[in-house]
Amino acid sequence: MIHIKSPQDIEEYKAAGSLSKAALRLAGTLVRPGVSTLEIDRRVEQFIRLHGGIPAFKGYGGFPGTVCASPNEAIVHGIPSATTFLNDGDIISIDTGATVNGWVGDNAWTFYVGNVSTEVQGLCEVTRDCLKAGIAQAVPGNRLGDIGHAVQSLAERHGYGVVREYVGHGVGHVMHEDPNVPNYGKKGRGVKLQVGMIIAIEPMITLGTYANHVLSNGWTVVTDDGLPAAHYENTIAITADGPVILTADEDGPWCAMQGGTK
């Protein structure tokens, strides 16, 4: 069942979206060669709690972290670890969510660790563009397939893979609401988008195959071929004036994030 939000709900949601974005921005400042993913996780948890939020992912389905930290071939749901250190040339996808006043924020970004190859930077740039293309389709009267088609067609035009098993979703008082928001689809198909829907759009795009599997820890999703994946996510409201990005702060959703000016 899709929960339609009132204008007041959407205003209230912004505190959760904004804190989730600030947490993601903080995570990005901590990314450097030699840092452990658990160090990032601990700092982000402190930050969220200090600002009156609750880490939304911690304990969700038993997930142990505040952030999902997914390096290189990890697509999503990487578990922060004291023994996973970032190395020059890596990429790291970090997903942060904070609950504020009962609303759940959700956003993600792929950061560069030191000097990243132009090939992998290209993957990240196109994935950011996929997110923007998906958001642009999130207008009343369009359908979910319009979002998915925009993401998929752009990624595949560059020869990249589009992950099928994990998708965007409705968000509200719980993290995963209806509808699912796939990163693939056909124009004009699927659920019609209505004013008052809040959805997380989150392309997961791979350099090689999109085939993937879950590691034995039960969480971390990795590409079968071991090639890198990128993941960018914003939560948006569908309004009569078009999509409004709710995971934004005073600097907006992109500015001052790596690659955000592109």
Q: Tell me whether residue 60 or residue 85 sits nearer to Mg ion (CB atom).
A: 60
Find out whether 210 and 164 touch, Cβ atoms under 8 Å: yes
Nearest approach in angstroms of CB 200 to Mg ion is: 4
Residue range at the interface with Mg ion (CB under 5 A); choices 26-34, 41-49, 104-112, 254-262: 104-112
Structural tokens at position 166: 């994990």
Residue range at the interface with Mg ion (CB under 5 A); choices 49-57, 101-109, 135-143, 245-253: 101-109
Q: Tell me whether residue 72 or residue 183 sits nearer to Mg ion (CB atom).
A: 183
Q: Give Cβ neighbours of residue 96 (< 8 Å, ≥ 6 apart).
A: 20, 23, 24, 27, 44, 48, 57, 66, 67, 105, 107, 108
Nearest approach in angstroms of CB 83 to Mg ion is: 26
CA distance 126 to 146: 18
Nearest approach in angstroms of CB 171 to Mg ion is: 7
> What are the CA-CA distances from residue 3 to residues 27, 170, 176, 180, 247 (Å)?
31, 8, 11, 13, 19
Question: Total residues contacting Mg ion (rule CB under 5 A)?
Answer: 2
Nearest approach in angstroms of CB 204 to Mg ion is: 10
Residue range at the interface with Mg ion (CB under 5 A); choices 1-9, 63-71, 98-106, 120-128: 98-106
Q: Tell me whether residue 41 or residue 233 sits nearer to Mg ion (CB atom).
A: 233
Q: Binders of Mg ion among 34-73, rule CB under 5 A?
A: none
Residue range at the interface with Mg ion (CB under 5 A); choices 15-23, 27-35, 100-108, 151-159: 100-108
Q: Binders of Mg ion among 195-214, rule CB under 5 A?
A: 200
CA distance 194 to 10: 14
Find out whether 71 and 90 touch, Cβ atoms under 8 Å: yes
Residues in the chain: 262
What is the number of other CB atoms lying within 10 angstroms of the CB of residue 3? 15
For residue 67, give the DSSP letter.
E
Member of 45, 73, 90, 106 binding Mg ion (CB under 5 A): 106
Q: Is 74 in the site for Mg ion (CB under 5 A)?
A: no
Nearest approach in angstroms of CB 166 to Mg ion is: 9
Cross-strand bridge partners of residue 198: 237
Nearest approach in angstroms of CB 1 to Mg ion is: 19
Which residues make up the interface to Mg ion (CB under 5 A)? 106, 200
